[in-house]
Amino acid sequence: MSNAPQTSNSNTNANSQQDEIPKDLIELALEIAKSDPETRAKIDPIMNKVIENSRRRRRIYTLVQEALSQLRLDMKYLMFDLEATRRERDQYKSELGNEE
Protein backbone atom coordinates (compact mmCIF):
# COMPACT_ATOMS: atom_id res chain seq x y z
CA MET A 1 0.00 0.00 0.00
CA SER A 2 1.61 3.25 -1.07
CA ASN A 3 0.15 5.42 1.71
CA ALA A 4 -0.13 2.74 4.37
CA PRO A 5 -0.02 4.15 7.89
CA GLN A 6 3.44 4.11 9.37
CA THR A 7 3.86 1.87 12.38
CA SER A 8 7.41 2.80 13.37
CA ASN A 9 7.99 5.14 16.27
CA SER A 10 11.10 6.73 14.78
CA ASN A 11 9.41 9.81 13.33
CA THR A 12 7.42 12.33 15.40
CA ASN A 13 5.33 13.30 12.36
CA ALA A 14 4.54 9.64 11.76
CA ASN A 15 3.42 9.31 15.37
CA SER A 16 1.08 12.28 15.10
CA GLN A 17 -0.34 10.92 11.85
CA GLN A 18 -0.74 7.48 13.39
CA ASP A 19 -2.55 9.03 16.36
CA GLU A 20 -5.00 10.60 13.92
CA ILE A 21 -5.92 7.23 12.41
CA PRO A 22 -8.11 4.85 14.42
CA LYS A 23 -6.43 1.59 15.35
CA ASP A 24 -9.01 -0.40 13.36
CA LEU A 25 -8.06 1.44 10.17
CA ILE A 26 -4.38 0.79 10.77
CA GLU A 27 -5.08 -2.91 11.22
CA LEU A 28 -7.21 -2.95 8.08
CA ALA A 29 -4.50 -1.17 6.08
CA LEU A 30 -1.91 -3.69 7.25
CA GLU A 31 -4.16 -6.60 6.24
CA ILE A 32 -4.78 -5.01 2.83
CA ALA A 33 -1.02 -4.60 2.40
CA LYS A 34 -0.68 -8.37 2.84
CA SER A 35 -3.21 -9.16 0.10
CA ASP A 36 -2.38 -9.99 -3.50
CA PRO A 37 -1.39 -7.10 -5.81
CA GLU A 38 -4.59 -7.20 -7.87
CA THR A 39 -6.85 -6.90 -4.83
CA ARG A 40 -4.57 -4.29 -3.32
CA ALA A 41 -4.70 -2.20 -6.50
CA LYS A 42 -8.50 -2.12 -6.27
CA ILE A 43 -8.70 -1.40 -2.55
CA ASP A 44 -5.75 1.00 -2.08
CA PRO A 45 -7.46 4.12 -3.51
CA ILE A 46 -10.56 3.50 -1.41
CA MET A 47 -8.53 2.85 1.72
CA ASN A 48 -6.48 5.99 1.14
CA LYS A 49 -9.69 8.04 0.87
CA VAL A 50 -11.00 6.54 4.11
CA ILE A 51 -7.73 7.30 5.92
CA GLU A 52 -7.66 10.86 4.58
CA ASN A 53 -11.29 11.41 5.59
CA SER A 54 -10.50 10.10 9.05
CA ARG A 55 -7.58 12.52 9.37
CA ARG A 56 -9.73 15.41 8.15
CA ARG A 57 -12.48 14.58 10.65
CA ARG A 58 -9.90 14.44 13.44
CA ARG A 59 -8.52 17.87 12.44
CA ILE A 60 -12.03 19.33 12.29
CA TYR A 61 -12.87 17.80 15.67
CA THR A 62 -9.73 19.33 17.17
CA LEU A 63 -10.54 22.73 15.68
CA VAL A 64 -14.08 22.58 17.07
CA GLN A 65 -12.76 21.65 20.52
CA GLU A 66 -10.32 24.58 20.43
CA ALA A 67 -13.06 26.95 19.28
CA LEU A 68 -15.35 25.80 22.10
CA SER A 69 -12.57 26.26 24.65
CA GLN A 70 -11.96 29.78 23.36
CA LEU A 71 -15.70 30.51 23.46
CA ARG A 72 -15.89 29.34 27.09
CA LEU A 73 -12.97 31.58 28.01
CA ASP A 74 -14.53 34.53 26.17
CA MET A 75 -17.81 33.94 27.99
CA LYS A 76 -16.02 34.00 31.36
CA TYR A 77 -14.41 37.32 30.47
CA LEU A 78 -17.75 38.72 29.32
CA MET A 79 -19.49 37.59 32.51
CA PHE A 80 -16.74 39.17 34.60
CA ASP A 81 -17.02 42.40 32.62
CA LEU A 82 -20.82 42.39 32.94
CA GLU A 83 -20.65 41.94 36.71
CA ALA A 84 -18.06 44.72 37.01
CA THR A 85 -20.23 47.00 34.89
CA ARG A 86 -23.27 46.27 37.07
CA ARG A 87 -21.30 46.98 40.24
CA GLU A 88 -20.10 50.28 38.78
CA ARG A 89 -23.65 51.20 37.75
CA ASP A 90 -25.01 50.42 41.20
CA GLN A 91 -22.20 52.41 42.81
CA TYR A 92 -22.90 55.46 40.61
CA LYS A 93 -26.63 55.18 41.35
CA SER A 94 -25.99 55.12 45.08
CA GLU A 95 -23.61 58.11 44.77
CA LEU A 96 -26.29 60.03 42.83
CA GLY A 97 -28.87 59.16 45.46
CA ASN A 98 -26.60 60.40 48.27
CA GLU A 99 -25.95 63.72 46.49
CA GLU A 100 -29.64 64.61 46.36
**Portion of the chain with pLDDT greater than 70, in percent:** 80
What pLDDT does residue 85 have? 98
Q: Under a CB-based contact definition with an 8 Å cutoff, are residues 40 and 32 in contact?
A: yes
What pLDDT does residue 19 have? 58
Indicate the pLDDT class of residue 57, thresholds 50, 70 and 90: very high
Domain spans of the chain?
12-99
Q: Under a CB-based contact definition with an 8 Å cutoff, are residues 18 and 26 in contact?
A: yes
Give the mean model confidence (pLDDT) for residues 45-74.
95
Tens of pLDDT, residues 27-54:
998 999 999 999 999 999 999 999 999 9
Measure the CA–CA gap between 65 and 80, rounded to whole angstroms: 23
Q: Which letter does DSSP use for residue 11 in this model?
A: -
Tens of pLDDT, residues 16-30:
555 578 899 999 989
Question: What is the length of the chain?
Answer: 100
What pLDDT does residue 7 have? 41
